[in-house]
Amino acid sequence: MASPVIQLTQLEKCYGPVRALDKLTMDIEAGPVGLLGPNGAGKTTLIKLLLGLLEPTGGGARIAGFDPTRRADRLAIRRAVGYMPENDCLVPGMTAVELVTTMGRLTGMSYRDGITRAHEVLDYVGLDEARYRVLTEYSTGMKQRLKLAQALVHDPKLLLLDEPTNGLDPKGRRHMLELVYDLGHDQGKSLLLCSHLLPDVERTCENVVVIHRGRTLSAGSIAEMTRSDETWLRVEVADRAEGFAGGLAEAGYTYVKEDASGFRVQLNGADDGDALFAVAARAGASVTSLAPVTSSLEEVFLDALDEAEAAG
């Protein structure tokens, strides 16, 4: 098994009395990983600590094999990692080609490599026709793609993407998610995607880490977290839905009526669902759909937050 790209050990960061990260311990494996958390959860602080822009109060971290608290490692991290900030970060008066070339050169590229690479990544993110326009004329979607391009210019193995779909219209968002998906799945990049938009994480990442108040609430594969609860089924019936509801009650099932013809039914013990067809037949209804109930990432996220709130 490959070593984790990010390792956090009892990582702690306090701003005066406020504890932004509270002894955070986790390993983040290679591949696309979502970092979820409500505002103030500590996501941005974590990214800054990983880039060496903040000093931790306690504990340690390793990213791409380097220790961000060591000055010498800090520069190596910034060479190995591509960072796409959340906020606008345009350099006034520059064009996209100039900005990306400068970022490449600051990372250690020659002028020729920098400019060649700038054109390649601007092509990749779809800014081919706008690359010589000054950045102040860019739309929000173009700015987001440009930020991704500058993060990619030195072809890093690990990308830290902070809210990449922020402020995008549906088309722009879809394009950005396609790029993120491509980078994570087809180009073999490891990426840490910070987002409060759960569908974005669900579409592009396989693993997710949920943090809240500087602590890890849950971490693991999205498929595992949202896997079906096999004790509940969603049943759709045609005709005589009321009769079917009565039949369920008579047979001792716990159920929730979701709409005019849909029910969520909890199975009893070793019941495999076939009995529901018998209930429907007795009520004169016909079952048109039967499927296990699955949780969305949003439900998992909200449940985890509720549990954390309840636990204090």
Partner 1 sequence: MARTNTELYRRFQGELNPRVFRFYPLFASEVRTSLKKKIPMLLLFIPPAIATVVFCFIIHGKYLAEGQSTSIGGLRGVAAIVAQRAMVNVEVKQLIAEFVNGMRLFLFLAVAWYGSGLLAEDRRLGAHLLYFSRPITRVDYFFGKFLTVAFFGFLTLTLPGLVICFLAAWWSPEWSFLREEGDLIWRTIAFSAIWIVFICSLVLAVSSLVPRKTFALIGVFGLLAMSAGMGEVLGELRGELQALSVWRCLRRIRNWIFDYEDWLTISFDVDLAFYVVGGVTAVCVAIIAWRLRRLEVVA
- Report in angstroms how near the CB of residue 71 gets to partner 1 at its nearest: 8
- Report in angstroms how near the CB of residue 252 gets to partner 1 at its nearest: 43
- Report in angstroms how near the CB of residue 117 gets to partner 1 at its nearest: 6
- Looking at the Cβ atoms of 20 and 283, the one nearer to partner 1 is 20
The CA distance from 241 to 278, in Å, is 14
Q: Which residues of the chain form contacts with partner 1 (CB under 8 A)?
A: 48, 51, 53-54, 75-76, 78-79, 81, 83, 85, 87-94, 98-99, 101-103, 105-110, 113, 117, 120, 123-126, 128, 150, 152, 154-155, 174-175, 177-179, 181-183, 186-187, 203-204
- Looking at the Cβ atoms of 202 and 303, the one nearer to partner 1 is 202
The CA distance from 180 to 166, in Å, is 14
- Report in angstroms how near the CB of residue 297 gets to partner 1 at its nearest: 16
- Looking at the Cβ atoms of 24 and 118, the one nearer to partner 1 is 118
- Looking at the Cβ atoms of 104 and 247, the one nearer to partner 1 is 104
- Looking at the Cβ atoms of 22 and 200, the one nearer to partner 1 is 200
- Looking at the Cβ atoms of 88 and 169, the one nearer to partner 1 is 88
Q: Which residues pair with 289 in a beta bridge?
A: 236
- Report in angstroms how near the CB of residue 183 gets to partner 1 at its nearest: 7
How, if at all, do strands 207-212 and 215-221 pair?
antiparallel
- 296 with 226: CB under 8 angstroms? yes
Task: Give the number of residues written for the chain.
Answer: 312
- Report in angstroms how near the CB of residue 236 gets to partner 1 at its nearest: 27
The CA distance from 26 to 15, in Å, is 22
The CA distance from 77 to 44, in Å, is 17
- Report in angstroms how near the CB of residue 91 gets to partner 1 at its nearest: 4
- Looking at the Cβ atoms of 106 and 278, the one nearer to partner 1 is 106
